[in-house]
Chains A and B, each alone.
Chain A
């Protein structure tokens, strides 16, 4: 049972790997982002940074993004609002919206594009007038922001559909705080191979500024944001290692005890003509059988459980949690290694067992 649980845990924790290596949905390394270096979550960048980036020859499209302050503890209740400006749909081309809706968005100051997931949850449709409470105050003192839904966008991962996109110009004009700033700047390059060079150029330029930047592709940025929270992948690996190490000790002890209890049986088998090596192999096989059955069942439960995470999240995880074939094979190989390590000493003890001594002990 403990073997099944250990391998289930292994499978479940590794199914979240895409979260930490940035390989989620259509997030890719060709979209570049510039963010506040020291506080990616809540830091600000002045609009002048946009002008600087726009002046760089290799940058073809540029967009800037901001987020209205709101209670994000209940994101399905209070859908996050992103104010986007510039060539947003060119840079962030994983966000799909029909052309006529995109045009409507740019021709309507209070226009909003709602993520499909958000629209499904809230029952919103094109043409609806919505009012969203936030922590961002407007010039009139109200924190209630009103928008007209002009379109529905889709993207992968589906978690990114739990948002509303509104016009940056409208937000910038109407808000009291954070005027003249953005949360991040996104851009495309004419040649992706220039990514490192341009990133260095931007970050070097603002190195000694109060608004230092961190520039990188979408994957690098998502990894940096997670590493700011903590080295989660390391923590997960440490947890799994601890689980497996404990399991190894328990299994090795169980195998040793099992062999000790069967000393007389092993002696009998030897007296019947079974060779030392046959006994050694049979105990190693037994250890492998026990662990591999457990490993197989644990991994099987993982395979059955991972799709349920997506279902339970109402599709928000958008298939982020994946348990791939290579992870299954790696799990089985870990099982074989553990079984061999756990079984080798008891097997060696059985190999060395002298029939006469064992029978004398009864």
Chain B
């Protein structure tokens, strides 16, 4: 069996809303091996995005542990989490979330500005990422000059550029038409198969989930299967 990259144990997440406590995740256990491509499905409010945020180090659990590559990220403070995110995880969002004033190249370069790489090294990394997503000829374009699919490719390149262990995707095809969605899913599959990236993808779309190696269903904060 492959080495475990993500190890989630007895994970719970609660939110306080007024006087009420809302339990989003309850005693959840999950292992994701390296180079896995896991689709996480479930109805709205089932806790998919919350689990994604916890694994991506954007949020901290109420109890339980989250280990990525052997590191307990649930025990990290805000600064440590920022450092960890910068080099270990790449995020891909439904609405691409590119900075509108920057070109594709500059958007992709953003995570690298936190590293000690020289300008030419950064440029080289960006070119590699653009090549992988097939957008080398669009590097000078701003997001408003790109189609939805192209913007998502830029977002994927941005997630890739720092060569993270895991890509965390929240509805990456949710805002795209079927053909473009298929292209993006093929790209993700290629990143998983050819580049060995571990991918955790939240989706409502069964067709998108079919692109993954395996699927899990969340319901009311618990894994259903």
Write the residues of chain A forming the contact surface with B, with a CB cutoff of 8 angstroms. Answer: 264-265, 267-276, 355-356, 359-360, 362
Contacts and interface: CB of A to CB of B under 8 A. Distances in A.
B97 A355 contact: no
Nearest to B110: A272
B23 interface: no
A264 B58 CA distance: 14
Contacts of B99: 265, 268
A274 B91 CA distance: 13
A262 to B, nearest CB: 9
B82 A275 contact: yes
A356 B47 CA distance: 13
Contacts of B114: 272-274
Given A269-B110, A272-B111, A273-B83, 17 more contacts: A265-B97, A268-B97, A271-B58, A271-B91, A272-B158, A273-B85, A273-B86, A273-B114, A275-B79, A275-B82, A276-B78, A355-B53, A355-B58, A355-B59, A359-B97, A360-B49, A362-B95
Nearest to A265: B99
Q: Is the interface of B mostly helix, strand, loop or mixed?
A: helix
Nearest to A268: B97
Given A264-B97, A268-B97, A268-B99, A274 B59 contact: no
B87 interface: yes
A270 B53 contact: no
B104 to A, nearest CB: 15
B93 interface: yes
Contacts of B59: 355-356
Given A264-B97, A362-B95, A270 B82 contact: yes
Contacts of A272: 85-86, 91, 110-111, 114, 158
A80 B97 CA distance: 74
Contacts, number: 49
Contacts of B100: 265
Contacts of B87: 273
Contacts of B84: 273
A12 B91 CA distance: 53
A75 to B, nearest CB: 57
11 contacts: A264-B97, A267-B97, A268-B93, A269-B110, A270-B82, A272-B85, A272-B91, A272-B114, A274-B82, A275-B83, A359-B58
A266 to B, nearest CB: 10
A318 B27 CA distance: 84
Contacts of A264: 97
Given A269-B110, A271-B58, A362-B95, A276 B82 contact: yes
Contacts of A274: 82, 114
Nearest to B97: A268
A276 B83 CA distance: 11
Contact of B53 (A273, A276, A356): A356
B67 to A, nearest CB: 19
A275 B77 CA distance: 11
Contacts of A267: 97
Interface string B93-105: 1010101100000
B95 A356 contact: no
A268 B83 CA distance: 14
Interface centre among A268, A269, A272, A275 (most CB of B within 10 A): A272
Closest 6 CB pairs of A and B: A273-B86, A275-B82, A273-B85, A268-B97, A272-B111, A355-B58
